[in-house]
Amino acid sequence: MKTRPIPRIVRRIRRPGALLLAALGFALAGGGAAGAAVVTSPPTVTGDNGIVEAFLNTGDVRIVLGNTASLSSYEFDSAGGNLIPAKLNSVGSQFSTDGFSSYADKPTSISEATLANGPGYGSLLVDAASGQHYIDLGNIFNTAGAQDLQYLMFDNNGNQIDASHGVGIEPDVVFISSGVAVPEPATLVSALGVLSLFLLTDYRRKPKWFA
């Protein structure tokens, strides 16, 4: 009885370990979504605008406002439950005369709002290095989790702040490293896929130690 010949693709794979790495690399490269951008210094914010910054070395989260902006409400969301309400330095405690109230904060959502006028650019803390005006909410982001923080903010006129994706939740949190830019997940898995392809290649003439 004749045995079925081994397919060529199987015969060309010399090392099972390379096959495992390849499977992992290409699976991640195919299914991994591009992560949030990580920078070493925050962008400049001007006018009636604002951004949210999250520092990856501490978990500190800041609301940064432009030079004509104000804040009457905000909401942070994390699908993976990476918020830490117990560490919140609330806007209400920092600006007690503005009447801010919190709403059932939990690991997936933190929010505050006021019916009065909230703080404006002139009354905020100033970053000595960047000169930006900000509200520091404390180390409320779990740096060991996914960078899945999103936000929704409104000014004293009822306008959404930074509605770059239309009305609704904004995904453009600026994640800041402690000095070294961190590659996005898509970049890492692509490199892994290339390495896997290299390991799987069956060279006709390879040194003894590569056999």
Residues 6+ apart with CB under 8 A from 3: none
The DSSP string of 95-141 is SGGG--EE---BTTEEEEE-SS---BGGGSEE-TTT--EEEE--S-B
What is the pTM assigned to this prediction? 0.66
Task: Give the pLDDT mean for 131-153.
Answer: 94
Greater pLDDT, 35 or 86: 86
Domain limits, the chain = 38-185
- Residue 95, pLDDT above cutoff 50: yes
Q: Where are the beta strands (DSSP E) in the chain?
A: 38-39, 50-55, 61-65, 73-78, 101-102, 109-113, 125-126, 133-136, 149-154, 174-176
pLDDT band at 155 (very low <50, low <70, confident <90, very high): very high
| pLDDT, the chain, mean | 74
pLDDT band at 147 (very low <50, low <70, confident <90, very high): very high
Q: Which of 81, 71, 62 is closest to 139 using CA atoms?
A: 62
User: Which pLDDT tens digit goes with each residue over 45-58?
Assistant: 888 889 999 999 99
Q: Which of 175, 165, 164 is closest to 42 using CA atoms?
A: 175
**pLDDT at position 79:** 95
**pLDDT at position 178:** 63
**pLDDT at position 185:** 43
Task: Give the pLDDT mean for 143-164.
Answer: 90
Q: Which of 74, 64, 75, 62 is closest to 108 using CA atoms?
A: 75
